[in-house]
């Protein structure tokens, strides 16, 4: 404490504190205290009118992992195992994983293409990747309703082409399926995967490719032994930038999944707005946060990422 | 190798660009649809004095949309101004000064980046509702006097998630900044304020400007935080569109999207121009 006060007497350090204090006010007031409140709420119990009684009860967490102490699970009397919420958590995790993998598969060729393009063109190509990102998030999902619905653009075009070939066509049911949610998620977050991958790929010295070729490596071997390992940091950064938001997003599943696809984000939103149980919603948020933190820490430890995320 | 581009790579990359742009093109085209239900494109609308721009005219005479647009811009301007100031101060502190709680500050700035937005959103909602409930009871407020979510709660929350991004961008600019220039100014007799306004700020201005641009677009685009923190009368455009998507969709929504996209494009092109001129 004395050392701390001593440092405060130093003018340099006083100025630093002065400059940082509004930031600290915001970060503590609007991030750290709210998080603590959510943790406290998650151990509380709801009242009938949507209020909270502050207790220290693990009930909400037990309900999330499927232990039902009061209500029966189908025909089984309590206590029993109810997989409803575990299923939702698992589905969210799988969907986030699928979205990330698809974004890498779809985004990698484009990132590579832009990184190897002549320097003059690169900015234009990057700009073209950014433009969809700046059109509004909600508007972008709306576009997919127009494309995917039964009488929508995709079915219209396919039907028209098949009609010319005299093949009968029953329109596909695409909207309100898990597939629609996956496509929507990939579309929403693809640029976040492409940009950091591009940053990594762009840093690779062209002479490395030449060296690999001189040493007799073919294209595939050069890709596997040079390009892929050197672009791994970008992929890791992209994974974090895609995985975290996908885990928590509720609009895509809400609009393109139409209540067929319930993710943890929908569960949280529902508890706060219609079910009026903030304690259960808080517990679900804490579980969501812990799940994403585990993934992030695992990645950061394993590969180290800070710099790539910053440069994206 | 480095200059030979495989045709497959070009093909796949073009397809990804198609994937990125088809939804946007469809949105824009359908804003000229003559069908009110807007499911199938039945031809270009030609109605009223606006002709093919019928839905755009409808849009600009829709009071709800205009209020939402006004709210969106107010929130974006105020939160950008505040977040840019606060974030630039933080960048200066972290890059230039040693002080107690420095590492804590650094860690706290990463929180909004690694925590899902929805958790932040409900956290702020729980915070405000706890504070408001407490104050309403303590001060005995009733009826219209009762504190509740409003435009201000949204602005305060947008500042919170914008600060880290501004700090990140400004710090990157400060990083490559030669301190000798500032020392020279001081040696020549400028005091610290004059040095800051005449030397430091002009040199980091491009960083501050791109930080502000980032904060502005983040605020315009935000749905989740706004969703949980907006009160009556504080509807923003994304919230308004979301509300419509769950009811009935007319080409008016497309017209709104088209106007939005056009505005974003114009702002982006202007900022690109400015950037290429300043470097």
Tell me the pLDDT of chain B (279 aa) as tens digits. Answer: 444 568 888 999 999 999 999 999 999 998 888 888 777 788 888 888 888 888 899 888 888 899 999 999 999 999 999 999 999 999 999 988 888 888 899 989 988 878 899 999 999 999 998 899 888 888 887 777 788 888 999 999 999 999 999 999 898 888 777 778 888 888 888 888 888 888 888 888 888 988 898 899 889 889 999 999 988 888 999 999 998 887 777 888 889 989 988 888 887 788 777 767 665
Closest CA to B252 of A131, A153, A139: A139
**Which residue range(s) make up the domain with B277?**
1-61+249-279
Same domain, B156 and B104: yes
Please tell me the distance in Å from A75's CA to the nearest CA on chain B. Answer: 35
Is B225 found in the same domain as B106? yes
* Contact yes or no for B127 and A151 at CB 8 A: no
Instruction: State both tokens at A62.
Output: 């037990």
ipTM: 0.85
A51 in Cβ contact with B184 (< 8 Å): no
Q: Is the pTM of this model over 0.95?
A: no
User: Closest partner residue to A135 among B24, B100, B122, by Cβ?
Assistant: B24
Question: Rounded CA gap, A23 and B160, in Å?
Answer: 8
Q: Does B71 share its domain with B96?
A: yes
Residues from chain B contacting residue A8 (CB–CB below 8 Å): 100
Cβ contact B261:B34 at 8 Å: no
Residues 6 or more apart from B30 whose CB is under 8 A from it? A146, B38, B41, B251, B254
Model pLDDT for residues A160-212, shown as the tens digit of each residue: 899 898 888 888 888 889 999 999 999 999 999 999 999 888 888 888 888 88
Q: Both B41 and B86 in a single domain? A: no
Instruction: Collect all residues of chain B within an 8 Å Cβ-Cβ radius of residue A310.
Output: 168, 172
The two counts, helices (H) then strands (E), for chain A are: 16, 4
Q: Do B22 and B148 belong together in one domain?
A: no
Domain identity same for B197 and B160: yes
Same domain, B199 and B217: yes
Residue A18 and residue A256 in contact, taking contact as beta carbons nearer than 8 Å? no
Indicate whether B47 and B166 sit together in one domain.
Answer: no
Nearest chain A residue (CA) to B263:
A135
Looking at residue A310, its pLDDT comes to: 46
Regarding whether B113 and B13 lie in a shared domain, the answer is no
* Torsion sign (Cα): A265, A271, A272, A277: negative
Total number of domains in chain B: 2
Give A41-71 pLDDT, tens digit per residue: 999 988 887 778 888 888 889 888 888 777 7
Give the CATH number for residue B102: 1.10.3720.10
Residue of B nearest to A35 (CA): B123
Taking the CA of residue B50 and the nearest CA in chain A, the distance in Å comes to 24
| B203 and B221 belong to one structural domain | yes
The residue written with tokens 């070009």 in the block is B10
Domain co-membership, B36 together with B164: no
Same domain, B46 and B85: no
Rounded to whole angstroms, the Cα distance separating B221 from B215 reads 10
Residues belonging to chain A: 312
3-state DSSP call for residue B260? helix
The predicted pLDDT at position B3 comes to 47
Low-confidence ranges of chain A (pLDDT < 50): 307-312
């Amino acid at each position: 404490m004395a050392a701390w006060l001593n440092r405060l007497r130093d003018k340099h350090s006083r100025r630093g504190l002065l400059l940082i204090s509004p930031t600290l006010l915001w970060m503590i007031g609007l991030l750290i205290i709210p998080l603590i409140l959510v943790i406290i709420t998650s151990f509380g119990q709801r009242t009938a009118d949507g209020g909270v009684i502050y207790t220290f009860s693990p009930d909400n967490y037990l309900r999330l992992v499927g232990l039902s102490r009061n209500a029966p699970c189908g025909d089984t009397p309590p206590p029993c195992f109810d997989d409803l919420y575990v299923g939702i958590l698992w589905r969210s995790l799988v969907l986030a994983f699928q979205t990330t993998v698809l974004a890498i598969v779809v985004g990698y060729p484009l990132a590579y293409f832009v990184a190897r393009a002549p320097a003059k063109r690169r900015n234009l190509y990057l700009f073209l990747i950014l433009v969809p990102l700046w059109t509004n998030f909600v508007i972008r999902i709306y576009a997919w309703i127009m494309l995917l619905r039964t009488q929508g653009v995709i079915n219209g075009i396919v039907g028209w082409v098949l009609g010319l070939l005299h093949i009968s066509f029953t329109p596909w049911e695409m909207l309100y399926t898990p597939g629609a949610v996956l496509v929507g998620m990939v579309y929403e977050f693809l640029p976040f995967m492409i940009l950091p991958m591009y940053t990594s790929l762009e840093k690779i010295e062209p002479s490395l490719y030449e060296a690999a070729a001189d040493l007799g490596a073919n294209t595939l071997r050069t890709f596997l032994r040079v390009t892929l390992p050197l672009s791994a940091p970008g992929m890791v950064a992209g994974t974090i930038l895609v995985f975290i938001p996908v885990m928590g997003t509720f609009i895509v599943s809400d609009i393109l999944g139409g209540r067929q696809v319930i993710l943890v984000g929908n569960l949280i939103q529902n508890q706060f707005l219609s079910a009026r149980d903030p304690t259960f919603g808080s517990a679900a948020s804490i579980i969501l946060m812990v799940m994403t933190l585990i993934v992030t820490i695992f990645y950061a430890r394993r590969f180290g990422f800070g710099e790539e995320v910053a440069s994206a | 190798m480095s200059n030979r581009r495989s045709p497959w790579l070009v093909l796949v990359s073009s397809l990804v660009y198609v994937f990125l742009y088809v939804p946007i093109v469809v949105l824009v085209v359908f804003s000229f649809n003559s069908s009110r239900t807007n499911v199938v494109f039945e031809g270009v609308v030609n109605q009223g004095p606006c002709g093919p721009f019928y839905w755009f005219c409808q849009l600009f005479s829709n009071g709800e949309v205009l209020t939402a647009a006004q709210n969106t811009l107010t929130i974006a301007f105020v939160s950008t101004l505040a977040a840019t100031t606060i974030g630039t101060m933080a960048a200066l502190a972290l890059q230039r000064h040693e002080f107690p709680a420095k590492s804590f500050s650094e860690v706290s700035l990463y929180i909004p980046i690694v925590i899902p937005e929805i958790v932040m959103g409900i956290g702020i909602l729980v915070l405000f509702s706890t504070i408001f409930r407490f104050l309403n009871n303590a001060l005995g407020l009733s009826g219209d006097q009762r504190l509740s979510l409003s435009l201000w709660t949204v602005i305060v929350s947008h500042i919170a998630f914008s600060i880290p991004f501004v700090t990140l961008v400004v710090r990157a600019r400060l990083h490559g900044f030669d301190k000798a220039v500032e020392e020279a100014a001081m040696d020549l007799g400028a005091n610290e304020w004059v040095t800051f306004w005449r030397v430091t700020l002009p040199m980091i201005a491009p960083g501050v400007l791109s930080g502000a641009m980032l904060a502005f677009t983040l605020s315009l685009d935000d749905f989740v935080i706004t969703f949980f923190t907006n009160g009556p009368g504080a509807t923003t455009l994304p919230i308004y569109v979301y509300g419509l998507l769950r009811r009935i969709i007319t080409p008016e929504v497309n017209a709104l999207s088209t106007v939005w996209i056009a505005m974003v494009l114009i702002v982006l092109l202007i900022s690109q121009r400015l950037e290429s001129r300043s470097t």
